[in-house]
């Protein structure tokens, strides 16, 4: 979303819990939400259930390697990954980047450098953000819709619309990518979780619910259109 770091979730995958808690405190002080895993299995469980925006990933884990996790992750998600490891040889760095990592930070590192790299990667991935920024759309004539990420509020024609958490996250995800044709599997991965077992029918139902709440004629949607053979697209009719 345009600019609210407080909504961004970082997953720390490291079996050094003391270090993870230290890093967690720093991230939370900077407005991020943090979840932690001490092993690959724990990380998979989190990624099945929760949308994360960046992963800080150690290489040496009790039940495998960060390389393996990143390789599997890249089959279904483009979420940014920073490797952070005591393994500092050039081959490890190259392997990490070849597996799909976006950055590699050698331990020990300064927390200031880590914070700087996280913010830089967040900006490159999600854009420069302004907390007060809202998304505004015309979903047909006399159907003005506003999404306010700072308070998770959706307004239609001056009245607040009650959305479930997943409805809101889905709407916001599409609003951030206005005009883009979004594949169904990509939407499911990014909104429900990288390793989620959610069926495409679940996405279809949530799209229907959003149309019923936001469109003037849900059976003839103009805001959320179906892209046949691909998925869905959120389009501001004012751009047409």
CATH code, domain with 115 = 3.40.50.2300
Per-residue pLDDT of the chain (240 residues; tens, 9 = 90+): 333 444 589 999 999 999 999 999 999 888 889 999 999 999 999 998 888 999 999 999 999 999 999 999 998 888 999 998 887 778 888 888 888 999 999 888 889 899 999 998 988 887 755 444 688 998 888 899 999 887 788 999 999 999 998 999 999 999 989 999 999 999 998 899 888 888 999 999 999 999 999 999 999 999 999 999 999 999 877 665
- SS3 label, residue 86: coil
Same domain, yes or no, for 98 and 191? no
Q: Considering the domain boundaries, does residue 53 fall inside one?
A: yes
How are strands ordered across the β-sheet holding 9-13? 33-37, 9-13, 54-57, 81-85, 103-106
Q: Is 11 exposed, middle or buried (0-12, 13-18, 19+ CB in 10 A)?
A: buried
Same domain, residue pair 111 and 183: no
Q: What is the dihedral of CA 180, 150, 20, 96, to 10 degrees?
A: 20
Residue 98 maps to a domain: yes
Examine residue 156 and say whether the peptide bond preceding it is cis (omega within 30 degrees of 0).
no
Cα separation, 28 vs 86, whole angstroms: 24
pTM: 0.69
138 falls within a domain: no
Position 134 in a domain: no
For residue 64, list its beta bridge partners. 61
Backbone torsions φ then ψ of 74, nearest 5 degrees: -70, -10
- CATH number of the domain encompassing residue 211: 1.10.10.10
Out of 70, 104, 126, a domain closes at: 126
């Amino acid at each position: 979303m345009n600019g609210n770091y407080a909504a961004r979730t970082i997953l720390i995958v490291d079996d050094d819990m003391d270090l993870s808690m230290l890093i967690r405190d720093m991230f939370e002080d900077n407005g991020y939400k943090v979840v932690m895993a001490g092993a690959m299995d724990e990380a998979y469980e989190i990624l099945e259930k929760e949308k994360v925006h960046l992963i800080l990933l150690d290489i040496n884990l009790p039940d495998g390697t960060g390389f393996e996790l990143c390789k599997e992750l890249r089959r279904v998600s483009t979420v940014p990954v920073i490797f952070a490891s005591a393994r500092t040889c050039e081959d490890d760095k190259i392997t990490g980047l070849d597996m799909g990592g976006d950055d590699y930070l050698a331990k020990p590192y300064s927390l200031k450098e880590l914070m700087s790299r996280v913010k830089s990667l967040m900006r490159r991935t999600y854009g420069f953000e302004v907390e007060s920024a809202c998304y505004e759309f015309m979903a047909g004539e006399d159907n003005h819709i506003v999404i306010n990420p700072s308070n998770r509020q959706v307004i239609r024609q001056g009245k607040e619309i009650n959305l479930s958490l997943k409805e809101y996250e889905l709407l916001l995800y599409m609003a951030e990518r206005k005009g883009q044709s979004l594949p169904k599997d990509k939407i499911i991965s990014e909104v429900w979780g990288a390793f989620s077992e959610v069926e495409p029918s679940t996405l279809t139902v949530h799209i229907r619910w959003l149309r019923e709440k936001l469109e003037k004629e849900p059976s003839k949607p103009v805001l959320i259109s179906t892209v046949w053979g691909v998925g869905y697209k959120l389009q501001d009719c004012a751009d047409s």
